[in-house]
Structure 1
Amino acid sequence: MHLIINGKEMHTPDSISVTELLTHLQLEDKMAIVEINESIINKSSYEVTKLADGDRIEIVHFVGGG
């Protein structure tokens, strides 16, 4: 499956969920906001929200430090 993540093309297995994508990107332990095709997804829906070929995804995660 072909996705655009933060402006970059990426290929993933078919029928991947938001949770699986975050795991694949090693962001599963980070506080992140995910937007799919200009719609913000509630964190409670990450596991059941499946991505589709051609989706445009923006992921913002927070980095601690000073």
Structure 2
Amino acid sequence: MTKIKNFFLNGQLYYVEQTITISDLIHYFNFNDSLLVLEYNNLICDKKHWKEIVIQNEDKIEIVTIVGGG
């Protein structure tokens, strides 16, 4: 039996059946990982931990991309 987990990304609800990490999520949504700040369950998450953190049920993830301009 597969356990479905739900999580929130930028306020939107998503469901996942397989085990995924923060890094997997960033690549799936095609974010440029050098131009973003990631908040995981209300804490800023350092990039060096993205491959280690497995998304759990009810996690809240906020991704803010950095945009330059003039």
TM-score surpassing 0.5?
A: yes
Say which one has the larger Rg.
2
| Unpaired segments ≥5 residues, structure 1 | none
Amino acid at match of 2:69: G
* C-alpha deviation, 1:12, in angstroms: 3.0
Aligned residues: 66
Q: Give CA deviations for 1:35-66 in whole Å, capped at 9, x if unaligned.
A: 11101111111111111011011101112333
After alignment, is 10-19 or 38-47 more displaced? Answer: 10-19
After alignment, is 40-49 or 5-14 more displaced? Answer: 5-14
Measured in 1, the distance between the counterparts of 2:39 and 2:33 equals 18
Identity percentage of aligned residues: 27
Q: Is the 8 A contact 1:19 1:28 kept in 2?
A: no
Match of 1:25 in 2: 29
TM-score computed with the length of structure 1 as normaliser: 0.83
TM-score computed with the length of structure 2 as normaliser: 0.79
- For 1:1-66, list aligned pairs within 5 A: 1-66=5-70
CA RMSD of aligned residues (A): 1.6
